[in-house]
Amino acid sequence: MNKVTDIIVITDPGVDDASSLMYAIFCEKINIQLLCIAGGNGPISNATNNALYLMELFKQDIPVAVGPDHPLKRPPTYAFNAQGKGGLGGLKVNEKKLKLKPIETPACDAMYEKLKNSKRKLPIIAIGPMTCLAEMLEKYPDSKKYIKEVIFMGGTKEKIYGKPYREFNISFDPECVDIVIKSGVPLVMIPMELGHFAYLDKHDIKKVKKTNKIGKIFAKMYKKYNDFHVGKLGAAVHDVCAMYYLTNPQNMKTENAHVELKYFKTETDDYGYLETSYDKKINTQICVDMDISDFKYDFFQALENTNKIL
């Protein structure tokens, strides 16, 4: 029997977050101890409602803790163009019909409590902005000794028109990313471009729709999910790659590098990005390639496993 890994997840449920949570819950290798909600793909209220909806859809009782409603030092800029106004693409959540509620403890404190009370160090999977993680590291300096590693979806080595690419999860709250990197916790970076390799094409989405009731719901999400790089070819599921690294590291090609936060500032731009170098002290493991066929096989296996709750 496969070993089950306990984890904490930081998420701002948009479409690829929803796909990632489905995979994590039904791949039967992961046990989510806590969901920490971040603003990003939408305001914190939307993200929280989306998380609660997904927990009801998946028939889970995972505690949902709400994080800050804004980045540490800058106003929020939400990803409505990619994720849709509600955050879940073509799906709208009716918050009035939700039965589950978030816990009262803020995400920062709930995360610390879970880490400290765990029998072993826990991985933190960040598939949304890491504001609450930075808050915890500053509020509870001893918290980093309870963290096994932080696997985060964010950053890229790509450039556009000669300037650093503005990857969303990093640029939404770059100041929090700087705190996390400088804390010294072990880091695994799942760069944006990995999700552009591991996207679901039109054939895959038809297969998703035909799988079962939950597949039909996801196909509806994907219909209005717009990733700039993949476009109409299908749906990029970046965040699933972070969970896949946890379950199938042997199918991921990685390289060791030094990663640090930099700022790109002009009269029209002001954003943070991650700069990668190989001549400085290594602080991050970066995933640079993966086995796409096995990735899709495991994704669809998890989706089929949702039949157990239908």
CATH number of residue 246's parent domain: 3.90.245.10
Which residues does residue 286 pair with via DSSP β-bridges, in sequence order?
A: 189, 255
Q: For 171-213, what is each residue's pLDDT tens digit?
A: 999 999 999 999 999 999 999 999 888 899 999 999 999 999 9
Q: Which two tokens stand for residue 154?
A: 């964010």
Task: Name the pLDDT band for 1 (thresholds 50, 70, 90).
Answer: very low
**Per-residue pLDDT band at 2 (split at 50, 70, 90):** low
pLDDT, residue 23, reads: 98
- Please, which pLDDT band fits residue 17 given cuts at 50, 70 and 90? very high
Tell the residue number behind the tokens 């039965």, with chain if given: 99
φ/ψ of 198, rounded to 5, equals -95, 50
Q: Which residues, other chains included, contact 141 with Cβ-Cβ below 8 Å and sequence gap of 6+? A: none
Q: Is residue 73 within 8 Å of 175, Cβ to Cβ?
A: yes
Q: Which residue is it, tokens 């038809």? A: 206
**pLDDT tens by residue, 50-80:** 999 999 999 999 999 999 999 999 999 998 8
For 221-243, what is the mean pLDDT? 87
**pLDDT number for residue 208:** 97
Tell me what pLDDT residue 160 has: 76
Rounded to a whole number, what is the largest CA-CA distance in the chain?
Answer: 57
Q: pLDDT grade, residue 103 (50/70/90)?
A: very high
- The model's pTM: 0.97
pLDDT score at 3: 76
Least confident range from 19-23, 26-30, 220-224, 258-262: namely 220-224
Q: Are 39 and 67 in contact (CB under 8 A)?
A: yes
Task: Summarize the confidence of residues 108-125 as an average pLDDT.
Answer: 98
CA–CA gap between residue 105 and residue 217 (Å, rounded): 31
How many Å apart are CA 249 and CA 281, to the nearest integer?
23
Higher pLDDT, 100 or 223: 100
Number of compact structural domains in the chain: 1
228 pLDDT tier (thresholds 50, 70, 90): low
Q: What is the pLDDT of residues 132-162, one digit of tens each?
A: 999 999 999 999 999 999 999 999 987 877 7
**CA 54, 58, 63, 65: dihedral to nearest 10 degrees?**
-10
Can you give 67-124 as a three-state secondary structure string?
CCCCCCCCCCCCCHHHHCCCCCCCCCCCHHHCCCCCCCCCHHHHHHHHHHHCCCCEEE
Q: How far apart are CA 212 and CA 223, in angstroms?
A: 17
The whole-chain average pLDDT of the chain stands at: 94
Percent above pLDDT 90 for the chain: 86
In whole angstroms, give the CA distance from residue 175 to residue 77.
Answer: 14
CA torsion, ordered 51, 55, 60, 62, to nearest 10 deg: 10
Which structural domain range is residue 88 located in? 5-309
Q: Amino acid identity of 173? A: D
In this predicted structure, what is the pLDDT of residue 248? 96
